[in-house]
Structure 1
Amino acid sequence: MADQPFSLTRPDVSAASRPGHLPVIVTYLQMTAPPAHEPVRQPKGNLSLQRANPPTWSFYRYLYDTVGEPWLWHERRRMPRKELERSILDPLVEVWVLYVDGTPAGFAELDRRTSETDLSYFGLIPDFIGHKLGPWLLDSIIRKAWEGGAKKLLVNTCSFDHPKALPLYQSMGFVPIRHVAREVRDPRLDGVLPRSAGEHIPLAG
């Protein structure tokens, strides 16, 4: 029988098979050439995109925790400080911060430590969601990745993330290459995240 064509659409999430765990679908995407479209127009207002070079651990954790809490980002909350600092202080890791009127509004992280550049993290602080900043920020980071010598650009997103995340990546030129079904321990049950985090995701049973 011929192989089934790969679906660009994320599969449905099935129920968790283990108590205390959450089912999640992770979609991996890649971009193999710089974007062909015109740069996204910068939104109105006093915006700036600056590299934290390097970021302090506390400032990075503020960005990661504030941006990621609604979407259950938990991996780097669990990471020992020294291990996290080794990563974010590496000169091949770039943390770009979006400011609006001098206030941090979001960030993106490019990891160039391998031959394939990874857009490790990307997101907006909740107060700034819905102000049309995401497409401009993402487009700007993609261009910085290629201008900095990327040969291929990778990113992943999951079913915990904002529902517009996957379509946004695709609209910017990323192409899904695989979907992976996983189960993760609900970080709210272990106190890694507050129980109020990820309101759109029910607590694991």
Structure 2
Amino acid sequence: MADETFSLMRPALPKAVKPGQLSVIVTYLEMTAPPTREPVARPKGDLALVRANPPSWSFYRYLYDTVGEPWLWHERRRLPRKELERSIEDPRVEVWVLYVNGTPAGYAEIDRRDAATDLAYFGLIPDFIGLKLGPWLLDTAIRLAWQGRTRKLVVNTCSFDHPKALPLYQSMGFVPVRHVVREIPDPRIGGPLPKSAGSHIPIVE
């Protein structure tokens, strides 16, 4: 259980940061029982949620790169191809792809390899943000994750992510259990991301 004295509010970022570095706050959340509320209403339109079983490396990288670039997702851009393939081809890892009018619009990745089931990645392709798809996709992913022998569902989000990400997770029943402040090398400086990525996050050179 979460410590009752734990603050649900994300702490403030440090004001000073070294050149070439970024400060980030990672918030870890958990859910210890399946949702009992009514499912989020399915948005209107031609929607399909299909498991890529498994996705090809190139299609997975397209999803990860396109969904994640605005929010500075960089870890799996750095991951060697063989290592990434071992992960996404594991039958305990589920990649659920949302299609709108036949076009990929986002995805959710459910990782069942540890004791706690992890909603490892979740997001929309930028063209589809603001169309009320996120809450339905997240709610559906949560319900899929609770199928089987799941005893606890975990997720994390960070201060690079969309400002509505943390409140959305909380509205769906996730409870913050830990905040961690980190300083990392900016992945846009000599790293795997272009300088145009994460335009809401200043580059300090």
TM range (shorter): over 0.9
- State the Cα deviation string for residues 143-167 of structure 1 (Å, max 9, x = none): 0011132110000000000000000
The alpha carbon displacement at 1:17 in A equals: 4.2
Residue number in structure 2 paired with 1:139: 139
The alpha carbon displacement at 1:114 in A equals: 1.1
- Other structure's SS at 2:95 match: strand
Q: Does 1:106 align with 2:110?
A: no
Distance 1:84 1:4 in 2: 38
- State the Cα deviation string for residues 170-190 of structure 1 (Å, max 9, x = none): 000000000000011100001
Distance 1:131 1:188 in 2: 29
Residue number in structure 2 paired with 1:115: 115
Distance 2:199 2:13 in 1: 17
Distance 1:36 1:81 in 2: 40
Equivalent residues in 2 for 1:3-152, closer than 5 Å? 5-152=5-152
Distance 1:9 1:111 in 2: 27
**Kept after mapping to 1: 8 A contact 2:117/2:150:** yes
**Kept after mapping to 2: 8 A contact 1:92/1:113:** yes
Distance 2:69 2:12 in 1: 23
Tell me, which stretches of 5 or more residues in structure 1 are unaligned? none
Distance 2:114 2:188 in 1: 32
**Kept after mapping to 2: 8 A contact 1:16/1:183:** no
**Kept after mapping to 1: 8 A contact 2:52/2:97:** yes
TM-score, with normalisation over the residues of structure 2?
0.96
- Other structure's SS at 2:22 match: strand
Tell me, which stretches of 5 or more residues in structure 2 are unaligned? none
Residue number in structure 1 paired with 2:185: 185
Distance 2:83 2:204 in 1: 29
The letter of the residue matching 2:111 is D
- Other structure's SS at 2:24 match: strand
The alpha carbon displacement at 1:19 in A equals: 2.4
Equivalent residues in 2 for 1:150-169, closer than 5 Å? 150-169=150-169
The letter of the residue matching 1:134 is G
TM-score, with normalisation over the residues of structure 1?
0.96
- Other structure's SS at 2:136 match: helix
Give the paired residue count: 203
Q: In angstroms, what is the RMSD of aligned CA positions?
A: 1.2
Q: 1:177 to 1:94 in 2, by over 3 A?
A: same
- State percent identity of aligned pairs: 75
